[in-house]
Amino acid sequence: MQVFYLHRPTFFIENGSRYTWCDVPGADPRIGRTKRVGVDEETAISWEDYYKISADVPDVSEPSMYRFAPEDDGRYRMVWFQNGPWQKATDYRGMTNALMDLYLEPEGMKHIARRVTDFFKAAIERGVRETRLDAIMFGDDLGMQKGAFMSNDMFREFLFPYYKEICDCAHSHGLHVWFHSCGDCFDLIPQLIEAGVDVLHPIQKYALDEKKVVETYKDDLSFWAGMDLQQVLPFGTIEDVVDEVHHMIDTFYQPGKGKLILTLGNRLQDNVPVENFLTFLKEAHEYAVQVGQRQEETTDERD
């Protein structure tokens, strides 16, 4: 499998480039900042500045958009776009403001979603013309450790229509849609499926009940299941890692269907012991081979 990043627009304008999410001179709040702010507020701008942003940025004609596409070697190929409409709203406004904006500035939030959706759709059209693709991926962290950031009704109003447009565009070109959401997004999964999401990542341990997710949605989704990076991989023993790999494969793999791609729950951090990471890779391969062999033996006995 070949996975590569889209060349992403800068958030604030650099060197006059229109391949940016904000082309308003001086809007970057980090310029001249002397006090500390929350990590989610670092790029937050006012609605006044947001509405000064040109309608046609990011510039979808940017020649370098697919510069990271590797040479096609025949494997399944997926381009990883970036944050979707919800997280782009938190980039523009900060998490606290964005949550309040769902109530106080609904049209502004929809304007951001439209900007992101139009860019993603243009990127899909560029991708199928300029390289070979099998899938796109984008992500929005919809969940907290327990529960979603918004109700089903709010998701329906503010995100579902835009997700569906993106998925419909990808599907019209024969592409799969892979979607990332950290946290507990269980209540929103039916709408993700309805919108057209094909593969869900990472089914976060301790935020979601993995078995419940699989039993409920196994006929509608494939799972890019992520190894836990909150407890098991950084702080567990070698035996804990082995046990967790077995648990994940036994939980997510569906005999005769597959529907499991095993990975990490998020980016690998420096608190993960090298031995644990290598054990994860080794055991994932070896145990998957064992499970596959057992299935073949069972199939042969039935025949």
| Per-residue pLDDT tens over the stretch 268-284 | 999 999 999 999 999 99
Cα 62 → chain centroid: 23
Are the beta carbons of 183 and 190 closer than 8 angstroms?
no
Phi, psi of 261 (to 5 degrees): -120, 120
pLDDT tens string 226-267: 999 999 999 999 999 999 999 999 999 988 787 799 999 998
Q: Residue 178 has what pLDDT?
A: 97
Are the beta carbons of 6 and 123 closer than 8 angstroms?
yes
In the chain, which stretches have pLDDT less than 70?
298-303
Residue from 255, 261, 267 nearest 291 by CA: 255
User: How many residues would you count in the chain?
Assistant: 303
Residue from 151, 14, 170 nearest 79 by CA: 170
Residue from 208, 101, 203, 190 nearest 152 by CA: 190
First to last CA, the chain: 32
Spatial separation of the C-alpha atoms in residues 216 and 298, rounded to whole Å = 26
Q: Residue 301 has what pLDDT?
A: 65
Q: Residue 39 has what pLDDT?
A: 82
Residue 228 buriedness (CB in 10 A; 0-12 / 13-18 / 19+): buried
Q: Which string of b and e fits 31-69 if b means at least 16 CB within 10 Å?
A: eeeeeeeeeeeebbbeeebbeebeeebbbbebeebbeeb
From residue 290, give the alpha-carbon distance in Å to each of 249, 282, 283.
Answer: 11, 12, 10
Spatial separation of the C-alpha atoms in residues 280 and 241, rounded to whole Å = 6
Sequence-ordered list of residues with C-beta below 8 angstroms from that of 163, at least 6 positions apart, any chain? 84, 85, 191, 192, 195, 196, 197
Q: Residue 148 has what pLDDT?
A: 96
